[in-house]
Structure formats: C-alpha cells, structure tokens
Structure 1
Amino acid sequence: MSAHDPIQTPAIALPRLNEPAPDFTALTTHGTKSLADYRGKWLILFSHPADFTPVCTTEFTAFANRADDFAKLDTNLLGLSIDSHYAHIAWVRSIKENFGVDINFPIIADLDMKVAQAYGMVQPGASDTQAVRATFVIDPDGVLRAMVYYPMTNGRSVDEFLRLVQALQTSEMYKVATPENWHPGEDVIVPTPQTTVEAETRMGEGYKTKDWYFSTRSL
C-alpha cells in the first residue's frame, strides 16, 4: 500500500433491528447474567466508555433515578463497560457515597470485549479500547427493537429512552405509529391505506384525517 492509499478501517458488525439481539452470558455486579434471563421482559442494554468518569456518572445516576419508571413498563436495565468487575463495584460504591444514589441494576464487566463487539459498541473512529455510548432496546422475545449511538463527549437523555419504550409498547399493543416526541395520552398515527380503494374510503372512517395518508386517533 502506498502512502497515498486511503487507510482501511475494519468493518464493524452491527446488530440489526427486528432481528434477534446477539446472545451473551457475562459476569455482572449482580452475578452472571445472560440475555435469556430477560426473556418475557423488555431490556435496555447500554454501554459507557469507562467507570469513574463524569459524563458516565451522570448517566448512571439518571438511569438509577428512573429505574422505578422503567420497572412500571416491565423494563430492566443492564449497563456495560470494558472495565473489570472490581472497578464496577468500586464505582457503584463511590456513586452511593458521593451522590447518594444506589445503582440498583447490574453492570457487565466486559474486559474481553465480547459483548461490546457483538453489539458494535466499539467504534474505531472513537476508540479501540472503550465502548461508545450505545443503547439497545430489546423486547420480551429477545428481538432488537431500537439502537442509538452517542459520542463519548455527550451524555444521553434517559427520559428519551423511557419515552421510546412507552412508544414501542404502544405501537406493539395497538398496531399504530407514534409521531415526533409522542408521549402517552397524545394521539397516535393510524396505519396508511395500502390500496387505492382503502385510500378512497379513509376520509369516512372516523379518524382525524388531514389527507388519505395522514390520519390520527386517540387511544
């Protein structure tokens, strides 16, 4: 390869939406956990770059403070970083001592990076040795329903992931879509007609219809 050839970076294998989430069994601060342990529940699996770092600390305290709200949605939380088991324990104790917050969900110790690599959490453009801020929403059947990646410099909005789970569960239950920044209690979007006949009759079906392709209703 000449000096003028572009640098080749290895391809990152990313999981895909609406397919089974990558399986794992890993040591956590709550003992060994597997993806199978969360069958029948919703799961938010999220990674952070490193223990004892300020942005990650704000995210973990925010997740812990909203844990009861996630529990009401039958949703478990599971953290991960490429740190040791003992570093996780020490960090959890530090957060309790300095911020008064109990981190009451498990954190995966992923020193061999197996889980991080399976989920595409390691991004060479950001770091080869740390996981970026990746978040995965997995449904009760073990299917990946959403994934979001953030850079190392900027923290996530925990409220947004709570909202996202509410929206996903609503779409699943009522077979509808949800508009931008939808929150429970607001109107949902009715599926778009799939034939010209259905489009012709849409205006008379009792929905709040702006045009044949755009109809909403309350739940």
Structure 2
Amino acid sequence: MSLRLGDIAPNFQQQSSAGLIDFYEFLGDSWGILFSHPADYTPVCTTELGFTAKLKSEFEKRNVKAIALSVDDVDSHHGWIEDINATQNTTVNFPIIADEDRKVSTLYDFIHPNASETLTVRSLLIIDPNKKVRLIITYPASTGRNFDEVLRVVDSLQLTDNYKVATPANWQHGDDVVIVPSLQDEDEIKQRFPKGYKALTPYLRLTPQPERG
C-alpha cells in the first residue's frame, strides 16, 4: 500500500514500548507524528528519539502526539530507551512500536526494496485529527531529521486550515502569510484580514499572520 497526501492513515493494533497500541485510540482528536526507524541501537535514530522527547512541551502546545516505529521487539526497545535517556539526557515519553512482523511498516509503505528488504526507511508522517496524511518526508539513513522543520509544518498546517492563507518560502510562525488566490471578494478580504494586505502581483498578496494580535 502506498500512502499519499490526503489519504486516510490506516488504523492498526500493535505492541509497543508502552503496551498494546490502537493507533486511532492513541491519537484521539490530536495531530500525530509517526516516524519510522530501521532498527534499534542505531546512532542517528538515537539522537532523533532523544530530541523528540525534549520537544514534549512544543508538541503539547500544538496538540500533537508523537509515536515511533522500529522493527525490533519490545524488550529491545526498552534497552534502547535506556541508552537514549542516558546519552541524550532526556526521558523518552512516547511509544515506540515493535514492528517485528513488519505489519505496520508494510501498511505504511516503510519498506523500500531498493533500500532494504527487511528494514524500514526513515519516513515521517504528519496526520491531522481527521486521520488524513498531511505530510510525508523520507530521509536517507545518514541524515538526521530536522524537527524544527516538522514543527514549522505543523504550525503552517494548523494556521492554513483555519484561514484562507498559505505560507511562503522559509515562513516562520509570526511572519507574513499569503492570501490564497481563490479569495477575490474585497469585502471578504477586508473582513478576514483587517490589517490589510500588500499586493506584489494580483496573485501574490501578503498579509500579517491572522492569529497574531
């Protein structure tokens, strides 16, 4: 199964470092970040899981739950978590799915035969409260994921879901945003964006981020 943006993320039940997980129950009405790891005790992934644990308060502000996946078993996960906590000076505070049978990896297309027939690629998905896949990023094994970018995308998605805007290149929370081209009624524009806008072209109109006072 190949997932694409806008698809419904499939549900699953699988053992994890926190016990049996029903994915939909775990997510509830939260946003979700599901990210896969080739195996336990891998160096780059150790740093990623540690950094993710340190982002707990940032995820909570955004109503986001993180959950990781690796193809090793629960006992291996618990040993790896001890290493992560010790080396990254943190406490892992999210589940790591134990995907020994590759059930979830196959369901989410985390096994790429040209990369490895037995290990997952290092993919990350953002899933919204309606269980729709909103972002898919796949990294090479040698490159650690950029979690600042993951948070930036969550901020953009949550903002653009609530307002008729898009976020431009290198946008950060608080920067100007773009009024979507489909919005042409000037009365509606004035109502939605009382701070006004600057039209660089008829289709490129910048306005202050709506939610900021």
Per the TM alignment, residue 193 of structure 1 is displaced from its structure 2 partner at its CA by 3.8
The count of aligned residue pairs is 202
Q: Is 1:193–1:212's contact at 8 Å kept on the other side of the alignment?
A: no
Per the TM alignment, residue 100 of structure 1 is displaced from its structure 2 partner at its CA by 2.4
Distance 2:155 2:161 in 1: 10
Which structure 2 residues correspond to residues 94-133 of structure 1 after superposition, within 5 A? Answer: 94-133=83-122
Name 2:198's counterpart in structure 1.
208
Q: TM-score, normalised by structure 2?
A: 0.89
Identity %, equivalent residues = 39
RMSD over aligned Cα, in angstroms?
1.8
Q: 4+ residue stretches of structure 1 with deviation over 3 A?
A: none
Q: What do the CA deviations read for 1:140-174 (whole angstroms, capped 9, x no partner)?
A: 11111111111112111111101111111011111
Name 1:66's counterpart in structure 2.
55
- The one-letter code matched in structure 2 to 1:166 is D
Distance 2:164 2:50 in 1: 34
Q: Is 1:134–1:149's contact at 8 Å kept on the other side of the alignment?
A: yes
Gaps of 5+ in 1: 1-12
Distance 1:93 1:145 in 2: 32
Distance 2:8 2:88 in 1: 37
Q: Is 2:73–2:99's contact at 8 Å kept on the other side of the alignment?
A: yes
Distance 2:171 2:114 in 1: 33
Q: Is 2:9–2:127's contact at 8 Å kept on the other side of the alignment?
A: yes
Q: TM-score, normalised by structure 1?
A: 0.87
Name 1:217's counterpart in structure 2.
207
Per the TM alignment, residue 20 of structure 1 is displaced from its structure 2 partner at its CA by 0.8
Distance 2:204 2:86 in 1: 52
Structure of higher CA gyration radius: 1
Gaps of 5+ in 2: 191-195
Q: Is 2:17–2:78's contact at 8 Å kept on the other side of the alignment?
A: yes
- The one-letter code matched in structure 1 to 2:131 is G
Partner SS, residue 31 of structure 1 = coil
- The one-letter code matched in structure 2 to 1:42 is W
